[in-house]
Amino acid sequence: MATTIDAPILSQDPVIAGDPPGISAWPRNIWKFCKRKPLGAFGGFVIVLMLVAAVFVDGAIVGVNKPLLAPSGYNEQHIRRAQVDQGPSLSHIMGTDELGRDIFSRILYGARISVIIGFSSVIIAAAVSLAFGTISGYYGGWFDIIVQRIVDIILSIPAIILLLFALTVFAARAGPYTRMFWIILIVGFLISFASVRVIRGAAISAANNQYVDAARTIGASNMRIVFRHIVPNVIPVVIVLSTVQLGTAILAEATISFLGYGIPSPFPSWGAMLNLSGSAQFRIQPLQAVWPGVAIALTVYAFNMFGDALRDVLDPRLRGGR
């Protein structure tokens, strides 16, 4: 009898089912994802490139005190042989800017700033919206009503107006690092307002499952139900939302930096490299205006495509939304 039960289980084993032995499930799943969602895979590839650039642009994060990927520092000026406003060349593959700084290096350092701001603000947004969305959806009542009204209020003021307003109020005289902290905080909170609603909806639909009733019947506490049954159901939604919102957060930082309210010079934010006041400068070397824009657009596109593909894989119910 034991053999008849074992046999079908063994034949389902991936190693015996014809795959070369020794390959774990991970690479195969990634390969399947690439084949089914080529655009999503492209997005994932760009994201990996960006993360590599952000971590290894110089040795500061891995603990080596020397440049790694970037040919020169972000504020290092090459002004000896009139190397200002140059087009692409072998020594500066994207050319130099008006101060003779290597644009390729600045783009790589810009990836680090985008990654720091994007990920930090999205982590804040995910935590805040998970907490408020779940409580609001599961418990309902007056807490839900108040949270929903506050979301209504914040969402009726355009994000850019709130952002610029809040930055001039709270960070008018802040140094670069304090300013970065405020940008992360404000962008994170603004994004969380948009996702509280979605997460609340997911929490409500999770609470309607029969196993939640069953858990309540056997006497599980609300705490236990929330953490064992509601939150695990909401997490895929949070992951998908966060991926797309990484693009949104990076775009938001670039926009305010473009308008001159973001990370101040000489720090190489992609948005600041396109700054409004510098647009006369670009007439001398128009390619200077191309690189940072391509970097921003590619990043936002990558996060959107990867998020879309992730949504189809993780949570098919969300498909077909706007």
Nearer to another protein (CB atom), residue 217 or residue 277: 277
- Side chain identity, residue 21: P
Q: Note the Cα 132 to chain centre separation in Å.
A: 20
> Does the footprint of another protein cover residue 82 (CB under 8 A)?
no
Nearest distance from residue 54's CB to another protein, in Å? 19
Nearer to another protein (CB atom), residue 130 or residue 249: 249
Nearest distance from residue 60's CB to another protein, in Å? 28
**The one segment of 28-36, 97-105, 136-144, 145-153 that binds another protein by CB under 8 A:** 145-153
- Counting every residue, how long is the chain? 322
Q: Are 230 and 203 in contact (CB under 8 A)?
A: yes
If you ran DSSP here, which 8-state letter would residue 102 be given?
B
> Does the footprint of another protein cover residue 87 (CB under 8 A)?
no
> Does the footprint of another protein cover residue 141 (CB under 8 A)?
no
Q: Note the Cα 130 to chain centre separation in Å.
A: 16
H-only helix segments in the chain:
2-12, 25-36, 38-56, 103-139, 141-155, 159-170, 176-207, 210-217, 222-225, 231-258, 270-273, 290-314
**The one segment of 29-37, 64-72, 122-130, 150-158 that binds another protein by CB under 8 A:** 150-158
User: Number of C-alpha atoms within 13 angstroms, CB side, residue 287?
Assistant: 14
Nearer to another protein (CB atom), residue 118 or residue 247: 247
Q: Are 283 and 291 in contact (CB under 8 A)?
A: no
Instruction: Report how far residue 204's alpha carbon sits from residue 95's, in angstroms, rounded to the nearest whole number.
Output: 54
Q: Which 157-196 residues touch another protein, going by CB under 8 A?
A: 157-161, 164-166, 168-170, 172
Which residues are at the interface with another protein (CB under 8 A)? 39, 149-150, 152-161, 164-166, 168-170, 172, 247, 251, 254-255, 258-259, 261, 271, 274, 276, 279, 282-283, 286, 289-290, 292-293, 296-298, 300-301, 304-305, 320, 322
